[in-house]
Structures are given as structure tokens and as C-alpha cells.
Amino acid sequence: MRVTAAVRSAKRSPFLQVVKSAVATISAWLIAGWLVPGPLPVFAAIAALLVVLPSVNQSFTKAIERSVGVIIGVLIATGLSLLLGPQNWVVLLAIVIAMLVAWALRATPGMANQVAISAMLVLALGSSSPQYALDRIVETLIGAVIGIIVNALIVPPVLTTSARRDLGLLGTEIAASMDRLAAALLTTQKPADLQTLMVEARLLRPMQVAAAASVTAGEESLTLNPRRGSRGEIAEMRALFDTLSPIVTQVIGMTRAYFDHYDDALADEPTVHAIAEQLRRAGHDVRLAVQVADVAPEPSPLTSVIPALTAPLQVKPPASGHWILIGSLMEDLRRIRGELVGDD
């Protein structure tokens, strides 16, 4: 691993985020210095800097974590200083006790670090009076509140673009996988062809994970966000993901069953032809659902606005020895239909 990979991100954060962090930090410094006279308002500046995050909801959560951590850390430092006096070794003792208290409270890593850092800063800055402790707590709360306000008022982020892109790619690839499997069912396959079909189907899983993360990030970015116009849009994306997610499992399962039970006589089985036709229809309806949700990477002129899945497929027991495979494909196809059409 290169050394730069440990200190550099693969993607640069938006410049607007830097501007908001700077505005919040400067505002917290000036306002806290005016409201709480005394030492430099370091706690306020740090709180504001840490609270400005990619979403307003994250900012609120970080503000709570930061504030509670500071309160506990300041109280520990003040109590130890009043009890043991201004000794240098008290700083080390305060750090250890702060970490133990955070561990006992099952605090998050961020809060645990904040407890220890706050205790150390209070003692290192050279004051331990109750008034000093109260001022630092108030100062931290001021910085946290300013960080939330700045993040909410200056172009609060709405992370729906990535969700739209990843959902569109997932739906398009699901439909393509259905079409590939439908075509494979009707032709003789070589071992290499079967392996390729299986690998392509398995690639749906990381795309599903990426889409889930993007939709969740989009929902989080709109929580506590004054820009409410996109909430209906992200709700539609969540509904589409909830529809597509089980279909990923079914498509991979159908491809796996075909891979495991394949033989050259399958293409001559009449029921297999009917299943292939239903797969093509299901692929069409997946593309239609993606376009209706307005997340398609590019509209397909071949996609009709009328759903292709109509009556459920009903077949007679196969005359050949393929009944295990056909039964498996039929069950997965039933579940796909249930997701797309909404019936069992």
C-alpha cells in the first residue's frame, strides 16, 4: 500500500463544504468570544469545525456526540483538579479516567475521544474552577449550534444524484441479466458461456450494495434539511429499490439453478420457452419501472409504457427429467412477478 493512500482520499470533498466549515468556525469564534469573555474560544471553534458534515442530520448527530463528550470530559477534569490539585500527573490520570468512563458508558468512538480530549484540554489550559468548566460547556454548545445552522442555511446538501444513478444502473443491469438468461435458455451453451452468464449475474450484488448505500445517503441528507422538495423523489427511489432488491436475489438464483442443472436438451423443452418469454417480459417491466421513477441512465425506445407481465404463467409438469430446474425457475419467476405486479 502506498503511503499517500493513508493520507489522501480518492475523491476530493466539495469546495462548498470547505467554505461552510470556514464560515462556521469563524462565526463560532467571534460569537462565543463575545458571549463568553475569557480565554480564546477554542472549544467553540473546534465544535463548529467538527459539526459541519455532508448532511444536516449528520451535523445534528455529531453536535450531540460532541456536546455530551465535552460535558463529561470537563466534569471529570474539574472534579479531579479540585480533588487532587494542579499537578502535572493529574492530566494523565484524567485522560485514563475519561477513557474508562467512556468505555463504561459504551460511548461511540467519536464521543470517547471527545471525553478524553476535553478533559486533557481543560487541565492543560490551566484552569479548573466550576465557572471555567461551565464556560467551556456553553462555548461548545454555541459552536455546535452555529455549525448546524450554517450547514442547514448555506446550500444544505441533497444527495439524490448518486441514488438516481446507482438505481438506474441496477435496474438496467437486472433487465439485461433477465434478457441474457432468457436467450441462454433457448440455445445450447458451452461451459465458458455458462460461466460468463453466472459471473455477470453475480455482479448484480455489488451494484445492489452501491444502490442501497446511495439511497440511504440520500434519505439521510434530507433528514432535518429545510430543502424539502426532494423528499418525494427520494421516497420513490426507496420504493423502487425495495422492489428491485429481492429481484436481484431471484435473478442470481435462477442463473445459478440453470448453471447447476444445465444440459443440451433443455432448449427443446416447451416449458423452458415459456419461461424465457416471461423473463423477457419481466425484463421489460423492470426497465419500465426504472423509467417511471425517472432514474434510467438513458431512455430505451424499445420499452413500451404498457407492462408486459399479464396473467401468471401456468405450465404442465415437464415430460423430461428437467422438473427440478423448471420448478426452481418457476418459483423464482413467481416471486419476481409478485414484486413487479404486486400479487402472489
Cell numbers 445459478: residue: 256
For the chain, the distance separating the N- and C-terminal CA atoms, rounded to the nearest angstrom, is 51
The three three-digit cell numbers of residue 117, written as one number:
480530549
Residue 194 CB contacts under 8 Å (≥ 6 apart), including other chains: 184, 258, 259, 262
Convert the pLDDT of each residue in 39-56 to its tens digit.
Answer: 888 888 888 888 887 777
**pTM to 2 decimal places:** 0.69
At residue 237, the pLDDT reads 85
Q: Say how far residue 335 (Cα) sits from the centre of its chain.
A: 26
State the pLDDT confidence band at 252, using cuts at 50, 70 and 90. Answer: very high
- pLDDT at residue 179 tops 70: yes
Percent over 90 (pLDDT), the chain? 12
DSSP-derived 3-state class of residue 135? helix
Question: What is the phi/psi pair of residue 300, to 5°?
Answer: -100, 120
At residue 11, the pLDDT reads 64
Amino acid type, 286: V
Give the CA angle between residues 154, 156, 162 to the nearest 5°: 140
Mean predicted lDDT score pLDDT of the chain: 81
Convert the pLDDT of each residue in 149-165 to its tens digit.
Answer: 888 787 666 777 888 88
At residue 201, the pLDDT reads 92
At residue 170, the pLDDT reads 92
- The more confidently predicted of residues 344 and 245 is 245
Convert the pLDDT of each residue in 262-294 to its tens digit.
Answer: 888 887 878 888 888 888 888 888 888 888 766
Average pLDDT of 110-123? Answer: 84
Closest CA to 118 of 67, 185, 181, 179: 67
At residue 116, the pLDDT reads 87
State the pLDDT confidence band at 1, using cuts at 50, 70 and 90. Answer: very low
